Structure 1
Amino acid sequence: MEFKKIHLYGSDIEDYEVLSSLIQDAAIPTSEMKFDKVEKQFFLVCSRFSWESRLQNKGNKRIVSGICFDNVIEVKKKNFPSFNSENILNFLTLKKVTGFIELIFSNNILIKLVGNNISFRIDDLNKEWPTIFSPNHKN
């Protein structure tokens, strides 16, 4: 089966729900996050778990994806670790509220993107690769 990279743009609440499901359990190094105040963009690069591969019975896979949030005027952080290239955050979910997007990570870490009409683009940057590690969600 041919590998198809994801390239999506979104701005409404349903789009953000799709984004959240795509990057659930993504590993994001703190060194791979950047806020460009002049361009009003927040970027991150993550190693996301390929839920779509699992649904297609292709096994556990990961893929590197880049995400750009546009129209961001401020970034607020809560419980964010000190900058260190070895710090890797585990993405859990996000919330879209009028005026901001909240990215929620394990260990009660939050990143709040403040702005009006924040939109996003997500692009897979390479081919997926197999992994023996699979997210495990205990209820």
Structure 2
Amino acid sequence: MTEDALFEDGREAPLHLGAFDGEDLTIIASLAQDAVFPITEMTWRPRDRRFGLLINRFRWEDTGRARHGAERVQSVLAVENVLNVSSQGIDRSDRDTVLSLLSVTFEPGDEPSGHVLLTLAGDGAIRLEVEALDVTLRDMTRPYKAPSGKVPSHGE
């Protein structure tokens, strides 16, 4: 049985979201957009079939921005059921590289399989072949002031 959300449920709290279909993934993608992460914080564990990123995501859901300024939070973006990982436009040997996540999308294959595509700024991309879609986004730290002090912009 499902219940309606309560007003109190809207309080600011750490996120812990899951996606099992493309519609769910659009919510996670919107919250992870403009996240930045060092290339060293990207991990694939083939034996566990898990791919993870430790990202510094912009808090798009933050309703108190006018009061305390732009904030980021460290979060884990994890993809389960990963069979293969490929990338383009990324020099994985440059350990000082900081990547910026522009979008997360799902390209369906033979149901329930497909590909999770992580599009990065600068024409980079990571493609994850998945047996079934299972993505989580979980905040790991308290929010902190965004170093730039600004809301990300795409020159609109």
TM-score by length of 1: 0.92
The number of residues matched between the two structures is 138
Answering whether residue 53 of structure 2 is matched by residue 37 of structure 1, we say no
Unaligned 5+ segments in structure 1 are none
Q: Distance in 1 between matches of 2:135 and 2:100?
A: 19
Q: Which amino acid aligns with 2:125?
A: L
Aligned-partner SS, 2:62: helix
Aligned-partner SS, 1:75: strand
Q: Which amino acid aligns with 1:37?
A: P
Answering whether residue 10 of structure 2 is matched by residue 10 of structure 1, we say no
1:50-99 C-alpha deviation (Å, 9 max, x unpaired): 01115764431000001210000000101112333321101101220111
Counterpart of 1:27?
36
Q: How does 1:1-139 map to 2 (within 5 A)?
A: 3-54=12-63, 57-58=66-67, 59-98=69-108, 99-131=114-146, 132-139=149-156
Q: Distance in 1 between matches of 2:95 and 2:27?
A: 28
Aligned-partner SS, 2:30: helix
Q: Distance in 2 between matches of 1:53 and 1:85?
A: 31
Ranges of 4+ aligned residues in structure 1 off by more than 2 Å: 54-59, 82-85
TM-score by length of 2: 0.82
Q: Which amino acid aligns with 1:115?
A: V
